[in-house]
Chain A
Amino acid sequence: MSTQFKAEVFQNQYLPQGAKEVHAIMTVTAEGSEGVAGTHTGGSLFGVICDTSGSMGGQKIYAAKEAMVKVVNLLPDDCAFFIVTGSSSARVIFPVSIATPQNKERACGVIKAGLDAHGGTVISTWLTEALQQFNKMAGAVRQALLLTDGQNDVSDEQQLNTVLQACEGVFQCDCRGVGTDWRVKQLQQISHKLLGTTDIIPNASMIEADFRAILEKAMSKSISDVALRLWTPQSARVLFCKQVSPDIVELTHRGKLVKPQVNDYPTGAWGKSESRDFHFCIEVQPGNVGDEMLAGRASLIYTVNGVETKVAEARILVTWTDDDAKSTKIDKRVAHYTGQAELAQNIQEGLEARAQGNIEVATAKLGKAVKIAHNSGNESTAKLLRTVVDIVDAETGTVRIKKSVAKEDEMALESRSTKTSRIPKSS
């Protein structure tokens, strides 16, 4: 095995008498050793899905082409790739092939020659084509990059949901929106379902740098289809289960029941030296003072050729006590991530209120967000917040909503609001 997983649980296991909610943060770290190509033998498959609808015309399609050529040339020789372009319908302009120098050259030729922008935006058809390509290499680490600049066709909503359902678990997909005419919620719907990220590329000239970063991250993944398996005792209920670092990914309703009391939550592919945090909240039957019980057993499972391998395990404990000094303490990591979740929520609600012209609510929510971001050391989010509000006092969260805000700043804040900071090492 080349990738070692390590799981650690942080929690206050002491509950006062009668309490039944158990919180725990699990930190999972994958540590790869040099020189081994990963447990994964199926290689990796990277798909590029590029919008070629009418709105992409001009500078955007030109920049996208350039970026795609660069990405193709950057592909390692042993990985496979394909390219799908989409508008009202989708076209596989380059089917799944190994990234040999010849194939790269041919692909670049196709990109340069055959792309012109026209037609509408029906993303479900793009994903359907991509899905078929990914199905050709089921054993690989499968990741895609979707680039678009516009809103999906209204009529596509239902179809998109169906297609996403089919794509879930088959491939992961990062979404990038160019310009400001796309809708954050829409791309997030796709990226959340397909365990990817959504971000804005405000300016067409920045596509290339972003593509490089995505490709680099994708190529670092060595193990795909890792599931977070959570066992809970009989009569317990998982109130929520979410990834909280590096960003918030709600997993609660994505669990698949493996057998009674055991749920698998998807976490996608893991790279070497990757670290993520998960937050569990489990409701158990309250015990007597002095009772100790296991509220959850969380493990990471990956499946290679139908064989499940458990790579790390951690236990979530609970002890009931009448000692208030013990039971009233909140674990600092639990507190931190509870704050980060609140931060994301306040940003989303604040931006929504602002869009509806409800400045009072927006000021309150975004002020609260500024305060949390400031206190938790989430610098990147604090910086994004400063583009939307004028901060009078970060400590108390006193802010003034800016009169005019660049659309791309607002979208950047919205799409990155779920990014969390980790608890600073020094504290």
Chain B
Amino acid sequence: MPSYKCPKNHESTESDFCSVCGAKIQGSPEVTTAVQKTATLTCPDCSAPHDPHSGNFCEICGYNFTSGAHGDLPPANITPTPLLKQEELTSSIGEKTHLTWAVVATVDPSLYEEGSPQPPTNQAPIIFHLEKENNLIGRSSSRRGIYPEVDLDFDDAVSHRHALLSCQPDGTLIVRDIGSTNGTKLNGVELTAMIDAPIKEGDELTLGHWTRMTVVAANS
């Protein structure tokens, strides 16, 4: 009989919810085989995938998987990542997409609002290639050990852990504001924290004082 590990480390005979304690089993086995990983958990706080071998803490929000202690983020209303349907998965495995994503961050002085510091004039556009499955948008902090993939240090209204760009197994990209202080706008529309929004080439994210990011797709 197949068995699944639940977040509380029970051996579950059911794949969706633990057959012992009823806890939601994150990252169903179908999904994990599709992305060629052994077993991943999903962080109950920010729902980012978590590889148990990489340690006890969620790399995105700092949730402690052993003690259940919350990270920096206030525990928010979680909308669990909708698990991909089986057929979507199989089809995506068949025809491998070679799409890779990048975002270009620029300082846009037109986003300046009263109260913000004057935008720097010498900030050149930065291209961030999204090489990982999950890419944190934020500001680095050596004290807190935060080193975002999309590092927007020049804008101090960007939260250290601001949002997440996740490359999906089917080749699409989603953005999720992970409870940032000042919010994120997608094409001018405020995102709801912890709700995934699919994004495509040309979409623009605005955040912080005056940071504008454009999504770019590149064939590799």
Contacts and interface: CB of A to CB of B under 8 A. Distances in A.
Interface of A: 231-236, 261, 284, 288-295, 297, 315, 319, 321-323, 326
B153 to A, nearest CB: 30
B80 A292 contact: yes
Contacts of B16: 294, 315
B22 A288 contact: no
21 contacts: A233-B23, A234-B20, A234-B21, A234-B22, A288-B68, A289-B77, A290-B44, A290-B45, A290-B75, A290-B76, A291-B23, A291-B44, A292-B78, A293-B21, A294-B16, A294-B17, A295-B22, A297-B17, A315-B16, A315-B17, A326-B77
B19 interface: yes
Interface of B: 14, 16-24, 44-45, 68, 75-78, 80
Give the top 9 A-B pairs by smallest Cβ distance, nearest first. A233-B22, A294-B17, A294-B22, A293-B22, A290-B78, A292-B24, A290-B75, A233-B21, A289-B75
Instruction: State the main secondary structure of chain A at its contact with B.
Output: loop
Most buried by A among B16, B17, B24, B45: B17
B18 to A, nearest CB: 7
Instruction: State the main secondary structure of chain B at its contact with A.
Output: loop
A11 to B, nearest CB: 15
A322 B77 contact: yes
B140 to A, nearest CB: 27
Nearest to A236: B22
Contacts of A235: 21
Contact of B18 (A232, A290, A294): A294
A236 B20 CA distance: 10
Most buried by B among A232, A291, A294: A294
A231 B45 CA distance: 27
Given A233-B23, A293-B23, 9 more contacts: A231-B19, A233-B21, A233-B22, A236-B22, A261-B20, A284-B22, A290-B75, A294-B23, A322-B77
Most buried by B among A235, A292, A321, A322: A292
A364 to B, nearest CB: 41
Nearest to A285: B21
Contacts of A292: 24, 78, 80
